[in-house]
């Protein structure tokens, strides 16, 4: 959602400068020449306007004043003079259209590159980064912050250059026309700027309050929309409305004050503008009549025109400057994301296909469905270790943050083909253990080995490729059902997709959907039931035929009848693989080779179902107390 940032006081610091430098780096790297052309066009446009205005002097003095009162005079001179004025203004218009148009291309192109770089970098960031930043906050870098940059590059930056050019060229022209009159104009403009700044500060305070209360109101609406169902279930509609009214009232008050003052600003600065204009006109008239400083009538007319073009950019430039600093704050946030250290992967051991020739395993570029770890030793010798799915934790300690350890002294041996189940109360650390096998996080001490190789030595992509993972919160992407299953193996054939769906027992429900495997799902699979979503994610994990499977509460949302179906499918799926399963249902856990009971990050009991039930310890309690025994 587009939440506007509070408009506070803006200030420049070294971040702002370095962001500006980097931003301009994007512009110059790819559009350097075009940008130089833009600057040239801006100079042409402001000079043409100045020339046009200056020409009024010669128009009046040379072509109008001498002929006043004459009935018959040579009109060709006047005609050409008018043509030249028109010409100058015409060039100004074309040049300013030209630079605005080019700036649109430059800014959109640069932003596209920034978004590309940002997304590419975001994909390389470790999970920890996403734990520390909310999605909304990250999203706003792609929306709000890039939008502020678009406005700055496309509009404000050329405007500010234009304003500066205009101020300089107008100032020089005014000096040429009349030095004393220029002094008067500069003084009265300074007074005008001072007074409008005071008024702006007053309304600025309320604009800040307005933005803050708008942010609160938006946040409240967002929360109420997300929690619609909860509000209705607890019939809290009245309370929600009451809280909303309070926030709405505050916003209304602040907005009224902010806009009240800012509406006053328009007339104030307009009147001050008129005042400056009148002071200049009166002083100019005196100077012209008395012939002081050789000011002619035409000169005065041009000068008065300049007074207008001088005031305007001066009062605009502070505003433009502020909006540039605010946009650069957005740029700083964008670059901050780009500067985050990517997920480190020092792993060298890779996953390769193998085939057996004369009883010997050799590496092959072909897809054989048989895998081995390719280990290059420091002396250059290559060792192939067959991928079997032997996972071991030795004395492993882990915490998401250094100061709060979650897992303590985890000892775990999963032999190829074994099914290891984790049970324990919520928050005990079950998901955390699986997060370590796939190296979403790195452990603080101890070791985790996979087929005898330390997981830190394995290239992350290859490690994850060898694992089939069904995460606790299923996530489906917009696309067809088949596409979603194929996510686990991009080159899978239709037959493989269907086989995987059958293995996960998802085939039956998919065939009953209107378009079967081609049914489009959107919004994280909102049109499917929780259980169906889980079945799809099981199929997605199964399609790659991984030697190790991690199922995190994969069956918890499935009804008892479907559960037995899934169970059969899962048993097929689990055959010959190492499986880590976290499930609250006894049926899933019961036939595990070993059950680990976790409490507060420690394994407190281990053994098979019968042994643990006999032990009458925590496992017995968990399943006789909290869960039904099937
Ligand atoms: N990303 C994270 N950052 C910090 N702490 C976390 C994070 N994820 C989990 N924790 C903490 O780690 C502990 C273990 O969480 P974990 O998700 O492993 O529990 P769980 O056993 O899977 O629970 P459940 O049965 O509810 O899924 C909890 O105390 C939790 O607050
Ligand atoms: Mg969990």
494-521: pLDDT as tens digits: 999 999 998 888 898 899 998 999 999 8
Instruction: For ligand 1, pick from 133, 397, 431 the residue to mutate: most ligand atoms within 8 Å of CB.
Output: 431
Give the closest ligand to the alpha carbon of residue 597.
1
Confidence of residue 11 (pLDDT cuts 50, 70, 90): low
Confidence of residue 554 (pLDDT cuts 50, 70, 90): low
Instruction: For ligand 1, pick from 132, 134, 429 the residue to mutate: most ligand atoms within 8 Å of CB.
Output: 429
Give the mean pLDDT of 548-552: 86
CA of 425 to the centre of ligand 2 (A): 10
Give the closest ligand to the alpha carbon of residue 441.
1
CA of 127 to the centre of ligand 1 (A): 14
Confidence of residue 9 (pLDDT cuts 50, 70, 90): very low
For residue 356, what are its two tokens? 């057996």
Which range among 18-27, 105-114, 128-137, 296-305 shows the weakest confidence by mean pLDDT? 128-137
**pLDDT score for 628:** 42
**pLDDT score for 3:** 41
pLDDT tens column, 322-342 = 778 778 888 888 999 999 998
**pLDDT score for 223:** 82
Q: Is the CB of 427 under 6 A from ligand 1?
A: yes
**pLDDT score for 459:** 92
Whether residue 41 contacts residue 96, with contact meaning beta carbons closer than 8 Å, is answered with yes
**pLDDT score for 477:** 85
CA of 9 to the centre of ligand 2 (A): 45
DSSP state of 175: H
Atom of ligand 1 nearest to the CA of 429: 18
| Residue 8 predicted with pLDDT over 60 | no
SS3 content of the chain, % helix, strand, coil (to 5): 65, 15, 25
CA of 404 to the centre of ligand 1 (A): 12
Q: Is the CB of 398 under 6 A from ligand 1?
A: no
> How far apart, in Å, are the Cα atoms of 490 and each of 79, 366, 463, 604?
74, 16, 17, 41
Cα separation, 265 vs 196, in Å, equals 7
For residue 536, what are its two tokens? 């799809």
pLDDT tens column, 428-467 = 899 899 889 989 898 999 999 999 999 999 999 899 888 8
| Residue 156 predicted with pLDDT over 80 | yes
Cα separation, 426 vs 430, in Å, equals 8
Q: Is the CB of 406 under 6 A from ligand 1?
A: yes
Q: Whose CA is closest to 460, among 343, 601, 335?
A: 343
Give the mean pLDDT of 159-186: 89
Q: Is the CB of 428 under 6 A from ligand 1?
A: yes
For residue 11, what are its two tokens? 């200030």
8 or 209, higher pLDDT:
209
pTM, rounded to two decimals: 0.71
Residue nearest to atom 28 of ligand 1 (CA): 427
**pLDDT score for 443:** 92
Q: Is the CB of 156 under 6 A from ligand 1?
A: no
Q: Is the CB of 400 under 6 A from ligand 1?
A: yes
H runs (alpha helix) in 291-372: 297-339
Confidence of residue 4 (pLDDT cuts 50, 70, 90): very low
CA of 231 to the centre of ligand 1 (A): 27
pLDDT tens column, 367-391 = 777 888 998 888 888 888 888 888 9
CA of 434 to the centre of ligand 2 (A): 9
| Residue 6 predicted with pLDDT over 50 | no
Whether residue 455 contacts residue 439, with contact meaning beta carbons closer than 8 Å, is answered with yes
**pLDDT score for 555:** 54
Instruction: For ligand 1, pick from 398, 406, 551, 603 the residue to mutate: most ligand atoms within 8 Å of CB.
Output: 406
Cα separation, 501 vs 365, in Å, equals 28
Give the mean pLDDT of 253-273: 80
Q: Whose CA is closest to 159, among 171, 151, 149, 169?
A: 151
Atom of ligand 1 nearest to the CA of 584: 25
Confidence of residue 630 (pLDDT cuts 50, 70, 90): very low
Atom of ligand 1 nearest to the CA of 127: 1
Whether residue 208 contacts residue 8, with contact meaning beta carbons closer than 8 Å, is answered with yes
Give the closest ligand to the alpha carbon of residue 404.
1
| Residue 256 predicted with pLDDT over 70 | yes
Cα separation, 232 vs 243, in Å, equals 16
Cα separation, 279 vs 21, in Å, equals 43
Q: Whose CA is closest to 298, among 44, 68, 46?
A: 68
126-156 b/e (C-beta count within 10 Å ≥ 16 → b)? beebeeeeeeeebebbbebbbebbbbbbbbb
**pLDDT score for 562:** 67
Give the closest ligand to the alpha carbon of residue 622.
1
Residue nearest to atom 25 of ligand 1 (CA): 426
**pLDDT score for 541:** 87
Q: Is the CB of 555 under 6 A from ligand 1?
A: no
Distance of CA 107 to the CA centre of its chain: 18
Confidence of residue 73 (pLDDT cuts 50, 70, 90): confident
Whether residue 149 contacts residue 271, with contact meaning beta carbons closer than 8 Å, is answered with no
Give the closest ligand to the alpha carbon of residue 584.
1
Instruction: For ligand 1, pick from 398, 408, 430, 472 the residue to mutate: most ligand atoms within 8 Å of CB.
Output: 430
Sign for the pseudo-dihedral over CA of 499, 500, 505, 508: negative
CA of 406 to the centre of ligand 1 (A): 8
Give the closest ligand to the alpha carbon of residue 601.
1
pLDDT tens column, 40-62 = 999 999 899 888 888 888 888 88
* Mean pLDDT, all residues of the chain: 84
CATH for 391-626 (3.40.50.2300, 3.40.1190.20, 3.40.50.2000, 3.40.50.300) = 3.40.50.300
**pLDDT score for 247:** 93
Cα separation, 102 vs 100, in Å, equals 6
Cα separation, 427 vs 124, in Å, equals 28
pLDDT tens column, 585-607 = 777 788 888 999 999 999 998 88
Give the mean pLDDT of 550-558: 68
Residue nearest to atom 14 of ligand 1 (CA): 429
Question: What CATH number should be reported for the domain whose range is 8-177+317-342?
Answer: 1.20.1560.10
Q: Is the CB of 583 under 6 A from ligand 1?
A: no
Confidence of residue 101 (pLDDT cuts 50, 70, 90): very high
Confidence of residue 287 (pLDDT cuts 50, 70, 90): confident
């Amino acid at each position: 959602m587009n939440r506007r940032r509070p408009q506070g006081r803006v200030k420049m610091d070294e971040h702002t400068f370095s962001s500006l430098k980097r931003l301009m780096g994007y512009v110059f790297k790819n559009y350097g020449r075009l940008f130089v052309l833009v600057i040239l066009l801006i100079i042409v446009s402001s000079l043409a306007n100045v020339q046009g205005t200056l020409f009024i002097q010669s128009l009046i003095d040379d072509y109008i004043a001498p002929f006043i009162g004459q009935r018959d005079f040579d009109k060709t001179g006047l005609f050409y003079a008018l043509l030249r004025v028109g010409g100058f203004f015409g060039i100004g218009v074309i040049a300013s259209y030209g630079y605005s148009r080019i700036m649109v291309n430059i800014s959109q192109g640069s932003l596209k590159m920034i978004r590309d770089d940002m997304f590419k970098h975001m994909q390389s960031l470790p999970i920890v980064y996403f734990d520390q930043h909310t999605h909304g906050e990250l999203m706003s870098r792609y929306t709000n912050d890039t939008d502020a940059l678009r406005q700055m590059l496309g509009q404000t930056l050329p405007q500010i250059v234009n304003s500066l050019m205009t101020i300089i060229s107008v100032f020089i022209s005014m000096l040429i026309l009349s030095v004393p009159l220029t002094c008067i104009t500069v003084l009265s403009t300074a007074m005008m700027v001072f007074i409008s700044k005071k008024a702006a500060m007053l309304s600025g305070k309320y604009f800040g309050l307005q933005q803050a209360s708008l942010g609160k109101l938006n946040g409240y609406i967002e929360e109420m929309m997300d929690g619609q169902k909860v509000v209705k279930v607890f019939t809290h509609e009245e309370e929600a409305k009451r809280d909303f009214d309070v926030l709405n009232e505050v916003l209304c008050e602040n907005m009224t004050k902010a806009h009240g003052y800012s509406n006053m600003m328009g007339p104030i600065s307009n009147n001050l503008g008129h005042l400056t204009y009148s002071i200049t006109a009166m002083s100019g008239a005196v100077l012209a009549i008395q012939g002081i400083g050789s000011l002619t009538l035409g000169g005065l007319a041009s000068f008065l025109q300049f007074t207008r073009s001088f005031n305007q950019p001066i009062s605009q430039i502070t505003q433009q400057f502020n909006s540039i600093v605010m946009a650069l704050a957005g740029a700083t946030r964008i670059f901050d994301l780009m500067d985050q250290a990517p997920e480190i992967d020092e792993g060298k051991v890779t996953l390769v296909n193998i085939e057996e020739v004369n009883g010997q395993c050799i590496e092959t570029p072909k897809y054989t469905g048989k895998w081995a770890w390719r280990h290059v030793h420091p002396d250059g010798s290559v060792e192939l270790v067959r991928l079997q799915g032997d996972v071991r934790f030795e004395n492993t300690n882990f915490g998401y943050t250094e100061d709060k350890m979650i897992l303590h002294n985890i000892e775990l041996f999963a032999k190829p083909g074994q099914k290891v189940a984790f049970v324990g109360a919520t928050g005990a650390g079950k998901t955390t253990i699986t997060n370590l096998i796939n190296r979403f996080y790195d452990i603080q001490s101890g070791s985790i080995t996979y087929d005898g190789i330390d997981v830190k030595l394995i290239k992350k992509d290859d490690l994850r490729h060898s694992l089939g993972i069904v995460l606790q919160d299923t996530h489906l992407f917009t696309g067809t059902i088949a596409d979603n299953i194929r996510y686990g193996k991009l080159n899978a054939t239709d037959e493989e997709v269907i086989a995987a769906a059958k293995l996960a027992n998802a085939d039956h429900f998919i065939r009953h959907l209107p378009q079967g495997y081609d049914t489009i799902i959107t919004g994280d699979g909102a049109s499917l039931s929780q259980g169906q979503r889980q079945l799809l994610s099981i199929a997605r994990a199964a399609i790659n035929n991984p030697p190790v499977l991690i199922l995190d509460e994969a069956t918890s949302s499935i009804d008892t009848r479907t559960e037995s179906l899934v169970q059969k499918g899962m048993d097929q799926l689990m055959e010959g693989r190492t499986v880590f399963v976290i499930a609250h249902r006894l049926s899933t856990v019961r036939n595990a080779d070993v059950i680990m009971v976790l409490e507060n990050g420690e394994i407190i009991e281990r053994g098979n179902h019968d042994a643990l039930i006999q032990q009458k310890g925590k496992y017995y309690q968990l399943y006789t107390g909290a869960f039904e025994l099937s």
